[in-house]
Structure formats: structure tokens, C-alpha cells
Chains A and B, each alone.
Chain A
């Protein structure tokens, strides 16, 4: 069984697990990074969103093998202290209700704003089309993305 190398939040990690293990469970169970959430394991809810080389991906649909040799960024690595512009905007707009879906939302927002500094409403709709918030925090997510616009390098 080969061990896999990947970079998680800037730190090199060696993971000894089956190739098909979803990155989600490597993060949560092997590395104890529980900020990335499990919502469906079916690629539908977006709770498990992380960045793979800067792109938003569903960690429940990304195998360890696919993630190996790449850079993974999770919500814990977005900033040291909650100072990422998206995190700050999320606080300013008081987005979270139960909060469970929010790390995934934040990672998608950060990826979107990196791609497009000033997204349109349509861009925002698209970026969150595969995210579910059962609490209905959507109006504030939209506002927070707009507030953070232009601030993500």
C-alpha cells in the first residue's frame, strides 16, 4: 500500500490510506480537520468544499489518489485568525444560522472571488448552485459575497 503525499494548508502530509478514500474523510478523520463538513457524500450539498490548487472542489468526490501531490486548502487554512476578506464579510453580514454549511459556502465564495473580483448576481447564483443551506441563509450569503468583492487576492 503506497502512502500518499499532499499539502494541506501549506503543510506536507503523508497519508497511509486506501487510494479511493475521499479527501473529505482524510481531512476529517485522519488529520482531524473537522471544519470541512459531511452533508451528503454525493457531491450535491457542497458542505465539503475545499480548494485543490485554488479551485473549489467537493472533497467527498475527490479521492485521496486524485488529491495526492496537490495543494489542499481547507477553511482552517484560509486565514490564521478569521481575517480573510470572505470570513470578515461573513461576520459583518451575520450570515451563519446553524453554521454547518458555512465552511463550504465560504470556500466557494473565496474561490469565486479569486476567479472574478466583482461577480454579478448571475455569477453568484452559479457559484452556489451546488450548495445547500437548509437554514436558508442565502440572502446574507449573497450580500457577504458582494461585500467581500474586490478584496480577495
Chain B
């Protein structure tokens, strides 16, 4: 018997050892009741040979989930880490929470995984106690063994079958943090050995018997369609087997990727296009519209006090315009998916951050039900939000169906990847600060104008939460200011948009933290003291759906500043800058950047970061996320996507630069010890990196940079 409150049961046949099925699911939405009988969607198996297999219900894209989540189970269960094998779950109707994004993997699964590990541990102990005929209280576990009185010792493998016949305990006791031996220690990534030997399989490495490769010729203007074409030349390319029309363009299938690319290029030379609704789109026109929207109507994201009155009464007003460009994801592994269409089933291999949506939409595209399509998620060569999109998986299904006959891998090249990215849109920001007669910051307004990611994501609909989503990072400004107005003025843009590492928080926190720095300097105050004073003596403060603990934010700010030697004497031409943010009220990050500007050339020497993300499950992985997040932020200082005649001007890494090793600063990470439940670390280091650096540029040079990317010679 299972009830809907159960989340664990013994599954698996005799001889399989102890197999616990567990239910990992996104929390039911408000008002949603869970009626279905218990259906496990993740498994924890102790095999008779003593090895353990753990299903990870999230996808690995470099953030370390395939290490961090099993660590949580292994900790409670006292597993021998060297005997742990990790498999990635398959999305399906039974498992609807493969969605991996928003830095939530650890926080949403932590509780269930711990409880599953603890339950299995108690079952193994009970099995040993029964065999030894001793009270279970005399048994304990250690590194894959149950230990009993008189040096009795049995491996988990030997106990697994007996344990599987026992009832699953409710509320098995959880370990105390002080007893952890895996969680909180530095554990190297479990996929490391496969990666360094080239054995790791990413989506693009999937090879099925009889597999073909396909490239799609798409209109350079997103949404455009081919009008005329001649496939004769393409078909003479050695290896090309088919040229077919698909909804996104023209697909060329071949027996190698290269032949598919060559065929596609031959076809391109003959194609004419109906460029569609986006054909006149340009960055210049969008910017003009956004600038007009800075003074037009807008949707409130937050309104407190009477900002208009406070500004009118101010003895001094500061204002500035900030600007952040379109950005691309440019994961090093370009988009791809491999599909094998059978008679009434199909299988797909796709590095998707939204396995469930990918499954549903690809199945629909092939005229199948979701359960008729098996989806495998290999390792992902970089996600950053790009692979939350299902455009490439749906297209791959359409291509496979159109060309027929066996598995087909659709490969995007770098230009496809940049041109047909789900870009993160440009925004303009207008900020005003009103200073009262006592020299205090009395009013703050922040108007954001730009396209709405959420609307694009919802297929053109405006959600009630649009303004707060687009103003995330701006509306939750953590400083105590009597009058605050943050609003979002939407500007239409015709091309598809998507989430990006750090989402809208990146541009919004850039504008917010840089402008706050301007205010501090205008008032002759030290930017650190100014922030600490404005944070004040407050505890938990609510901002819309989020609440942030201001004490935790202050603490990271203080630690980062102290460790970076805030206020110390610097070499000529050097400067220190700082910024902080409470990310969705869950993860607190502050960064201090040390930069120099010599002959106009910016060098970021060091970034000191303090983070509080609750309990750090794997500090090694966490530090990697900080280093990577900072690299991602710094990269954005120099990159942009611009539009002309409906197409991106940029076509590759040559004109959309990514930070290189030689430009990577030293990164020093300080993790605030915490007993709070773990939050997330994939994104929070990104948004603070940009303002920390630009505030440091100001400290070094007196030059205020309000526009990203930094243009040549501007500093």
C-alpha cells in the first residue's frame, strides 16, 4: 500500500539487490492535488556485488549535479564513494521534473535524496541486526558496511537482498551535519576520468548503427522560409542522401557531418528566401524604441513610498542611462540532437535542459505520444539556459521524420548556433536617485526598457509576472530607501528570446550596482560603507515572491571586502570595485574586483568572491561555479549580438568573443559556513562580476562606464 505522502518503496526483482524507487518531483503547484498512485521516478540500487547505482533526476551540463546529488544520497547511506555509479534519468510522463535551470537542482532534491539514503541505511542495518540477532541499536554503518557488536561486519552487497524484503521505514533519522564525511568535503567530478580520456559521450558523440548526419539550411533571418531552391548540386556532393523541406528550412542528410555541411552550402548558393516578419529588424531601431519607452508607460515591478514626491523634494538628483546588449550563449558544443524514428516508437538523444518539454514537443512533431518517444540525455557541452529551449530537439525530430530510415543526427554549426540562438535581449535602463536635505538617499527609480523574455517564452503571451521577471535584480534592490519605483516598459522584438546564465538579473544588477556606486561617489561616501549603511539593521525582507535575509547579504559583502583588502593602498592605475546581490533571495554573493587600466587596456587582476548558498554540498564544485560564473560575466563585458536587416551581424567566435585563459583573473572564493538548506550556485556569481569590475574601473580611472560591451578605446 502506498499513499500519496509516500515517496519511497522497494522496487526491482529478486536477485537485483536492494532497489528503492523514490519520487522526486517539483513541488505540486498551489491548488494541485496529487492523486496518482506512487510511481517512482528515481532509483537507488545496492547490488549484490556491493556497488551502488544512483539515478540523477537532473541533467549534467558542467554544474556538477551528477556528483553533488549522489553525494547527498551516499552521505546518508554511508556508501563507499568509489563504488557509486551514476545514471541520468530519462524524462517521461512519470518524471516531469528533468527541467534543469535556475540554479535549483540541489535545493529541490536535497530533502528527498537525504531521506532515501537514510531509509536505505536503516533497512540495511535492520537486515544485519536480524541476521546477527542483535538489537538494531547496536549496529552502525560505515563506508559500505554495517558494523555490529563483536566486530561483526557485513558489506551492503551481502545484505541487499534481505534488506529488500523489509518495510521501508518512515522518517528514518537524518545525519547531523557534524557527522558528514562526504557532504561539505571537496569531491572531484565523477565524470572527470571519462572526460579526460575522451570517452565521455556528449550529444554530438552519439553514434548509432546506420546513423546519418544532417545539416539544416535556415533563413538567416529567424522565422524566414525558403522560396526557391535547387537541390541538384547538393545531391551531387559525395555522401549526401537526401534533401528535404522541414518547417525550419531545408535539411540535407548525408553519411557524414562534413558531407551534410557541404551539401547544405551547395544548396545555400541556390536558395532564395521569404525573409518573413523580422526582416527589417535592427539594433539601431530597437534602441530608438527602447529609449522612447524609457519615458512612456510601463508596468510596475515594485512601488514603495511616493517616489515622484520624494524626487520633487530632493535637494539633489542624479540620473543616468545604462545599456546592455543582446547576448548569445555560444556553448562550445553546438546544438544537436539524434533521433531514430521507428514504426510507432522513436528514440532521441538530446542534451536538453528541459527533457520533458523536449519529449512532448518532439513526440508531437512526429505524430507520437510522449510515452512513445524515449529520450536519453547524454552529457551536455554547456547549457547556460540555451538548452532550456526545445527548438533544436523539435527540429531534429522533424528532420528525422522527413528523411526517414534510421537514426539521424542534426548538427548545427557555429554560425547556425549564433544566428538561431534564443538570444538574451538588450535593455536600456534609466535610473534616478533623489538625495534629501540630510544627504540621505530618499528616492530610487529604475526604468527598464526592452523586449520581454517571458513573453517570447510563453509563445507571445503576456504573463501577470512579466514585469517582475524582466525586472528581476532591479525590483528586489535590497537597500532601505524610503521611496522606490522599479518598472518595465516592454519593447517588441520579432526574434525568439531565451534565458541566459544569470537571466535578466545580469543587466539589471549591472545598472543597479553601478548607479549606486555613482550615488556613493557623488555623496563622497565609500561604496562599501554606503552599501552597508543602506542595508541597515534588518533581517528578512520580502520582495514580491522572494524574501532575502539582509544579514546574510551584509555578511558576504563584509567578507569579500575584508578578504580583498578593501581600502588598501593600490598601485597607480589600479582600482577596487564591489557589488553584491541576493539572488532570488536564496544565494548571497558579493564580489570585489581589482583592475588596472594601462593605456586604455583593462586588465582584471583578481576577483574576490564571498558566497552564502546554505550548506555547500561539494565545495570543489561550488568554487568551479564561482570561477565559471565570473568568467561568464567578464566575457559579457566584451561581447554583443547586434541586428541588421533581421539577421545577427555576428556569425562566430571571431566576432562574438569569449574570454580566454590569458584574460582570466585570479579568483578567490570564500564560502560562508552555513547550516541552512543548500540553495544554488550556477548563476549567482555572474551578475555581480560586471558591476564589480566597472566600479573598479571608475576607482582606477574616474571614468564611468554605463554601456556594455566596453567599446575599444572607451576607457
Q: What is the interface size of chain B, counting residues whose CB is below 8 A from a CB of the partner? A: 64
Q: List 20 additional contacts besides A35-B199, A94-B620, A125-B661; criterion CB under 8 Å.
A: A17-B256, A29-B257, A29-B258, A34-B205, A36-B198, A38-B204, A40-B652, A44-B652, A44-B654, A45-B414, A95-B192, A96-B62, A97-B63, A97-B628, A100-B202, A106-B196, A125-B662, A138-B627, A138-B659, A139-B666
Provide a sorted-by-A list of 27 A–B residue pairs whose CB atoms are within 8 angstroms: A17-B256, A18-B238, A37-B333, A38-B204, A39-B332, A40-B653, A42-B414, A82-B196, A91-B188, A91-B196, A94-B186, A97-B624, A98-B331, A98-B383, A100-B202, A100-B332, A128-B660, A132-B653, A132-B660, A134-B329, A134-B330, A135-B631, A136-B628, A136-B664, A138-B660, A138-B661, A139-B666
Please, which residues of chain A bring their CB within 8 A of the CB of B205? Answer: 28, 34
**Residue A133 is within 8 A (CB to CB) of chain B in the complex:** yes
* B332–A128 CB distance below 8 A: no
CA of A25 to CA of B409, assembled, Å: 14
Please, which residues of chain B bring their CB within 8 A of the CB of A100? Answer: 202, 331-333, 379, 381-382
**Residue B191 is within 8 A (CB to CB) of chain A in the complex:** yes
**Residue A68 is within 8 A (CB to CB) of chain B in the complex:** no
Q: Render A9-27 as a binary contact track against B, CB cut-off 8 A, 1 for contact.
A: 0000000011001100100
Q: Which chain A residues (127-153) contact chain B, with CB distance < 8 Å?
A: 128-129, 131-142
* B198–A131 CB distance below 8 A: no
* B332–A101 CB distance below 8 A: yes
Please, which residues of chain A bring their CB within 8 A of the CB of B63? Answer: 97
Q: Render A46-89 as a binary contact track against B, CB cut-off 8 A, 1 for contact.
A: 01000000000000000000000000001110110110000100
CA of A39 to CA of B336, assembled, Å: 12
Q: How far is the CB of B625 from chain A (nearest CB, A)?
A: 8
Supposing A38-B257, A39-B333, A137-B628 touch, asked if A129 and B662 sit within 8 A by C-beta, the answer is yes
Using CB atoms, name the residue of chain A closest to B628.
A136
Please, which residues of chain B bring their CB within 8 A of the CB of A81? Answer: 197
Supposing A98-B382, A136-B627, A140-B624 touch, asked if A42 and B661 sit within 8 A by C-beta, the answer is no
Please, which residues of chain B bring their CB within 8 A of the CB of A74? Answer: 198
* B662–A47 CB distance below 8 A: no
**Residue B149 is within 8 A (CB to CB) of chain A in the complex:** no
Please, which residues of chain B bring their CB within 8 A of the CB of A119? Answer: none
Using CB atoms, name the residue of chain A closest to B198.
A35
Partner of B631, one of A44, A106, A138: A138
Please, which residues of chain A bring their CB within 8 A of the CB of B632? Answer: 134, 136
* B62–A97 CB distance below 8 A: yes
* B193–A29 CB distance below 8 A: no
Instruction: Choose among B197, B653, B662 the residue with the greatest number of A CB atoms under 10 Å from its CB.
Output: B197
CA of A44 to CA of B657, assembled, Å: 10
Please, which residues of chain B bring their CB within 8 A of the CB of A2? Answer: none
Supposing A25-B256, A29-B213 touch, asked if A134 and B658 sit within 8 A by C-beta, the answer is yes
Partner of A132, one of B186, B199, B332, B662: B332
* B189–A96 CB distance below 8 A: yes
* A140–B627 CB distance below 8 A: yes
Q: How far is the CB of B86 from chain A (nearest CB, A)?
A: 14
Q: How far is the CB of B510 from chain A (nearest CB, A)?
A: 18
Please, which residues of chain A bring their CB within 8 A of the CB of B191? Answer: 96, 99
* B630–A136 CB distance below 8 A: yes
Supposing A44-B653, A138-B664, A141-B661 touch, asked if A98 and B333 sit within 8 A by C-beta, the answer is yes
Please, which residues of chain A bring their CB within 8 A of the CB of B60? Answer: 98
**Residue B337 is within 8 A (CB to CB) of chain A in the complex:** no
**Residue B413 is within 8 A (CB to CB) of chain A in the complex:** yes
**Residue B380 is within 8 A (CB to CB) of chain A in the complex:** yes
Please, which residues of chain A bring their CB within 8 A of the CB of B375? Answer: none
Please, which residues of chain B bring their CB within 8 A of the CB of A42? Answer: 414, 652-654
* A32–B207 CB distance below 8 A: yes
* B332–A90 CB distance below 8 A: no
CA of A87 to CA of B192, assembled, Å: 9
* B62–A135 CB distance below 8 A: yes
Instruction: Choose among B213, B258, B654, B667 the residue with the greatest number of A CB atoms under 10 Å from its CB.
Output: B258
Please, which residues of chain A bring their CB within 8 A of the CB of B195? Answer: 96, 99, 102-103
Q: How far is the CB of B338 from chain A (nearest CB, A)?
A: 12
Instruction: Choose among B198, B384, B627, B660 the residue with the greatest number of A CB atoms under 10 Å from its CB.
Output: B198
CA of A36 to CA of B199, assembled, Å: 10
Q: How far is the CB of B245 from chain A (nearest CB, A)?
A: 25
Supposing A34-B207, A96-B192, A99-B379 touch, asked if A131 and B661 sit within 8 A by C-beta, the answer is yes
Q: Which chain B residues (157-216) contact chain A, with CB distance < 8 Å?
A: 186, 188-189, 191-193, 195-202, 204-205, 207, 213
Please, which residues of chain A bring their CB within 8 A of the CB of B144? Answer: none
Q: Which chain B residues (263-280) contact chain A, with CB distance < 8 Å?
A: none
Partner of A76, one of B197, B379, B380, B653: B197
**Residue A124 is within 8 A (CB to CB) of chain B in the complex:** yes
* A134–B667 CB distance below 8 A: no
**Residue A117 is within 8 A (CB to CB) of chain B in the complex:** no
**Residue A111 is within 8 A (CB to CB) of chain B in the complex:** no
**Residue B577 is within 8 A (CB to CB) of chain A in the complex:** no
Supposing A99-B195, A100-B202 touch, asked if A137 and B384 sit within 8 A by C-beta, the answer is no
**Residue B611 is within 8 A (CB to CB) of chain A in the complex:** no
CA of A60 to CA of B652, assembled, Å: 15
Supposing A75-B198, A91-B196 touch, asked if A98 and B661 sit within 8 A by C-beta, the answer is no
Supposing A38-B204, A96-B189, A136-B659 touch, asked if A30 and B256 sit within 8 A by C-beta, the answer is yes
Supposing A100-B333, A139-B667 touch, asked if A82 and B197 sit within 8 A by C-beta, the answer is yes
Supposing A39-B332, A97-B628, A137-B628 touch, asked if A102 and B196 sit within 8 A by C-beta, the answer is yes
* A129–B660 CB distance below 8 A: yes
**Residue B514 is within 8 A (CB to CB) of chain A in the complex:** no
* B379–A98 CB distance below 8 A: yes
* B382–A37 CB distance below 8 A: no
Please, which residues of chain A bring their CB within 8 A of the CB of B334? Answer: 38-39
Please, which residues of chain A bring their CB within 8 A of the CB of B498? Answer: none
CA of A14 to CA of B200, assembled, Å: 26
**Residue B629 is within 8 A (CB to CB) of chain A in the complex:** yes
CA of A100 to CA of B196, assembled, Å: 10
CA of A41 to CA of B215, assembled, Å: 14
CA of A4 to CA of B632, assembled, Å: 42
Q: How far is the CB of B581 from chain A (nearest CB, A)?
A: 19
* B196–A90 CB distance below 8 A: yes
CA of A39 to CA of B184, assembled, Å: 34
Q: Which chain B residues (364-393) contact chain A, with CB distance < 8 Å?
A: 379-384
CA of A129 to CA of B657, assembled, Å: 12
Please, which residues of chain B bring their CB within 8 A of the CB of A28? Answer: 205, 257
Q: Render B506-530 as a binary contact track against A, CB cut-off 8 A, 1 for contact.
A: 0000000000000000000000000
Give the top 10 A-B pairs by smallest Cβ distance, nearest first: A35-B198, A136-B631, A100-B381, A98-B62, A125-B662, A97-B62, A136-B628, A99-B195, A75-B198, A34-B205
**Residue B61 is within 8 A (CB to CB) of chain A in the complex:** yes
* A82–B238 CB distance below 8 A: no
Partner of B198, one of A34, A44, A45: A34
Q: Which chain B residues (648-676) contact chain A, with CB distance < 8 Å?
A: 652-654, 658-662, 664, 666-667
* A87–B196 CB distance below 8 A: yes
Please, which residues of chain B bring their CB within 8 A of the CB of A131? Answer: 660-661
Please, which residues of chain A bring their CB within 8 A of the CB of B204? Answer: 34, 37-38
CA of A40 to CA of B330, assembled, Å: 10
Q: Render B313-334 as a binary contact track against A, CB cut-off 8 A, 1 for contact.
A: 0000000000000000111111
* B192–A91 CB distance below 8 A: yes
